Structure 1
Amino acid sequence: MSDFGRTGPVNTFGRTGLVSASGRTEPVDTSGRTEPVDTSGRTEPVNTTSLTGPANTTGHTEPANTTTQTSTNSPSSARSSHPAAAAPSRIGRTDRGPDAATSPSPSPAPDWAGPALDSLLARVARTRAEVGTRFPLFADPEDGRWTTTGRGSWTGGFWAGLLWLRARRSGEHGDRAAARDCAERLAPWIDADTATRGLILWYGTAFADGADRDALAPLRLRAARSCRGAFDERLGLVPWGSAFGGPRLLARVDGVPGLVPLLALVDPDAARSHLRTHVELCLGQRPFHWAWRREEGERWAPCAEPPPGWGRGPAWLLLALADARHALGESGTGDLTSAVRELTPSVLVPAADAADRPDDLSAPESPSVPGIPGDPGGPDTPRGPDRPLDTSAAAITALALLKLGEHEYGHGHGHGHERERAVAVLERLVHRHLTDDGRLLDGCYDLGSATAVRHELIWGDFFLAHALAVLTGLVGPHEA
């Protein structure tokens, strides 16, 4: 039981190749294994416009039909040029928000961090040209073709977040306008019945700064109040909701990150309760379970999907704890030492589903990184035809550890050790899984339905870019 609250060939960046545009239908995930795709609403007309044609602005929900956009880029097997060559202008900027000014990096960023961030943000510019007003979801690892959604689904905030990071890096008016427009298009989700509003509306607005931050403040406040209105006092949480179909009264780990700091804007007690309830459910028994359903008799029962070995389960909860430590303080979280150890994987890049070791989420301490399991120099989880990795889980974990490294979160833990581990994870992602043209591959959307199991995922790109932005000082660790 948790004690929470009680006190191509691989080169510099990986494979090569250029992106092209989307041409796939959006899948309907009925497995319950991973985060859902919005399957509600009407179909959207097929978008056959080229990049130079008008954008699709129908406003309908995600389609069940194929969308096609003609790319101006042709796939190439040749190595791309050095990432800095295609990077945003004013590449040396280190503009920071208010949080960054008070949270300097404890040591200089590794020399690979800046070029890797530039590569990711150059990819953002190309993707923006290709998808128009649609939202990228995942891309084919071979040709870079994006599957897109009309309204963003649960991942829309990550696309907006990437646009904000590019705007912060470049300082260009056009980049800032694109980010602001994308964030404003998330407004229909404010009153949607889903706990993923935290992912959508926190990460989609958090990096706005200056006048844009002020302009988006009412949207964020409306979102926070709407989520507070959905808080169930009896259950002690915001239920998973009905927006994506299935049972409404669920507690899912992917309904915690983003929602805790969003709730904390208007009701810290509700934020604390939402987090505590999920931690006690998810870490309350072995094997860990990442989704729970409310049954008759006022009891919670674990769901079979997502499975105990789900790679993103621990990562989502670790990120929520890191954000809560900042938003709620020590009194709101207590000593997190045990939880951090349980949730940090023993390998740098975890399996999408560690089906053969669901109980082995903790491991002996690494002598080089006290208190954090695993060997930073060790291999990724062994993989075969039926065992893909999930680089998005690793990127989420790295960001969470960077955040935790800023504070002492338990007896003698924090202030550096976690940063070492985070840097090791990021280095592995950059050198083994990031292509020269800025695509983080080997992400797994849904292993159970064999959907996008070795692909570029929009949230994988976002969390890698976010972590690198923190590491290089572009943004502060707790701006988002």
Structure 2
Amino acid sequence: MPAQRKRQAVVHALFKQLDSISRQCGEQFPLYRLPRDRQWKLSRRGSWLGGFWAALWWRRAAFTELSEDLDQAVFWSRQLGAQLDEPSLNRSFVFWYGAALGGRLAQDEPARELALRAADALARDFRPDIGGWPLGPGMGGGDNGHATLNIDALAPTLALMHLQPDAHKRDMARSHLDLCLRTLRGADGAWASHARLDEHGQFQPGPAGDWARGQAWAMLGLAEAVGLYGGEYAAPAREACAYWLSRWGEAASRGTLVARNADPCAVAIASVALLRLWQCLPGMNDWRDLACQQIAALLSSEVQQGCFVGHYYRTGTEQEQLVESACATFFLVEALMTQDQVLAVQGGIAGW
């Protein structure tokens, strides 16, 4: 099947690119690479992106079944331990993707234990007064992080808190989900990416539906919620998908969604969310097909050579630029692999 072979060739190319990136890294994590540069910006601790670098190696090791790839995954996952006490909810990104994924894909017990330690650390930071977790000042959250509710890490936070049968952690996760729904969910399925506590202790959300990646993070979080809790969260999930379709779906399926507030990384994340919701909910075939169209549109000649410059990222105090990142690459790999899983269930769909 030509389309499937093309997807598999892209996955091979994206995984192969890890070798050249790794040669630049030493023991530091790659943060991002500007299109005009050959050298990656490196970080000793990895910030919130470090988990995705480890996750790519876990995925590659499962894909190739090579011991040297597994060794790389184990090495990078262990390096993440320095982030355990970082005051940021974005630790969920780091330890769900960079550690818990290794526990699942490779049955690596130290990686699973690291993820469990991260869940314990996050549980200690839960704020009963607000019923959830603020973003926190670490990993770029800044001075306002203690008073900010952010949508980005919703999916990995829910997943990390459900890693073991701990009723207290699971109650925290559901409380945080409901806080996000009350605070960040706007009209007609649009989502705000953040909200700030005012002087009266009330959250004031930012504009809803303006930022494609924020909407995509919300869709991914809702897909996780539907998978964990079932139909109770189906309605907001469907609304969020419908808003994506109306606002960005046509441009994304044509491959023209590149603007400051709408990057290709958002398309990959949204596509993963759409496909996972199709796996959980009946009647999502239109959104499954949209995800397939969006993924196909991402596969430019550059991407087919293993380079996905798809992530608007803050590269300076007042500057965001489109860069290559481990986060964007991971979600493109995840989208391609999830699409193949979905089509395998369906026995293949003509054209995909």
Same fold (TM over 0.5): yes
Q: Report the CA distance shift for 1:226/1:397 in structure 2 as closer, same or farther (over 3 A).
A: same
Q: Report the CA distance shift for 1:321/1:210 in structure 2 as closer, same or farther (over 3 A).
A: closer
Equivalent-residue separation in structure 2 for 1:220 and 1:276 (angstroms): 23
1:123 aligns with 2:24: no
Shift of 1:452: 5.2
Equivalent-residue separation in structure 1 for 2:225 and 2:182 (angstroms): 15
1:320 aligns with 2:221: yes
Matched residue of 2:152: which SS? Answer: helix
Shift of 1:138: 1.1
Matched residue of 1:292: which SS? Answer: strand
The answer to whether the 8 Å contact 1:241/1:250 transfers is yes
2:108 aligned partner: 213
1:6 aligned partner: none
Equivalent-residue separation in structure 1 for 2:246 and 2:24 (angstroms): 36
1:296 aligned partner: 199
Matched residue of 2:32: which SS? Answer: strand
Equivalent-residue separation in structure 2 for 1:109 and 1:207 (angstroms): 27
Note the alpha carbon deviations across 1:77-117, whole angstroms, 9 max, x for none. xxxxxxxxxxxxxxxxxxxxxxxxxxxxxx99733110010
Equivalent-residue separation in structure 2 for 1:255 and 1:393 (angstroms): 14
1:380 aligned partner: 256
The answer to whether the 8 Å contact 1:443/1:454 transfers is yes
Matched residue of 1:337: which SS? Answer: helix
Matched residue of 2:308: which SS? Answer: coil
Report percent identity of matched pairs.
26
Shift of 1:199: 0.8
> What code does the residue aligned with 2:289 have?
E
Equivalent-residue separation in structure 1 for 2:295 and 2:158 (angstroms): 25
Matched residue of 1:444: which SS? Answer: strand
Which of 381, 400, 405 is the matching residue for 2:278? 405
Shift of 1:432: 5.8
The answer to whether the 8 Å contact 1:322/1:403 transfers is yes
The answer to whether the 8 Å contact 2:197/2:203 transfers is yes
Equivalent-residue separation in structure 1 for 2:325 and 2:339 (angstroms): 21
Shift of 1:300: 1.1
Higher relative CO (Cα under 8 Å, sequence separation at least 6) belongs to: 1
The answer to whether the 8 Å contact 1:279/1:317 transfers is no
Task: Tell me the number of residue pairs that the alignment of Structure 1 and Structure 2 aligns.
Answer: 334
Q: Report the CA distance shift for 1:253/1:389 in structure 2 as closer, same or farther (over 3 A).
A: closer
1:392 aligned partner: 265
Equivalent-residue separation in structure 2 for 1:312 and 1:241 (angstroms): 20
Matched residue of 1:115: which SS? Answer: helix
TM-score normalized by structure 1? 0.63
For structure 1, the 5+ residue unaligned runs are 1-106, 349-373
Note the alpha carbon deviations across 1:183-232, whole angstroms, 9 max, x for none. 11111222222110111110112432466432322111111122122111
1:139 aligned partner: 33
Equivalent-residue separation in structure 2 for 1:448 and 1:403 (angstroms): 34
Shift of 1:299: 1.0
Shift of 1:458: 1.9
> What code does the residue aligned with 2:143 have?
G
1:246 aligns with 2:143: yes
Shift of 1:280: 2.4
Which of 214, 224, 229 is the matching residue for 2:119? 224
Which of 276, 284, 304 is the matching residue for 2:186? 284
Larger helix proportion of the pair: 2
Note the alpha carbon deviations across 1:25-69, whole angstroms, 9 max, x for none. xxxxxxxxxxxxxxxxxxxxxxxxxxxxxxxxxxxxxxxxxxxxx
1:59 aligned partner: none
Which of 282, 307, 313 is the matching residue for 1:445? 313
Equivalent-residue separation in structure 2 for 1:433 and 1:236 (angstroms): 44
The answer to whether the 8 Å contact 2:24/2:39 transfers is no
Matched residue of 2:313: which SS? Answer: coil
2:78 aligned partner: 184
Shift of 1:434: 1.4
TM-score normalized by structure 2? 0.85
Shift of 1:308: 5.6
For structure 2, the 5+ residue unaligned runs are 346-352
Equivalent-residue separation in structure 1 for 2:32 and 2:84 (angstroms): 24
The answer to whether the 8 Å contact 1:268/1:328 transfers is no
The answer to whether the 8 Å contact 2:274/2:288 transfers is yes
Note the alpha carbon deviations across 1:292-349, whole angstroms, 9 max, x for none. 1112323112358xx8622211011111111122123334x2433223222446435x
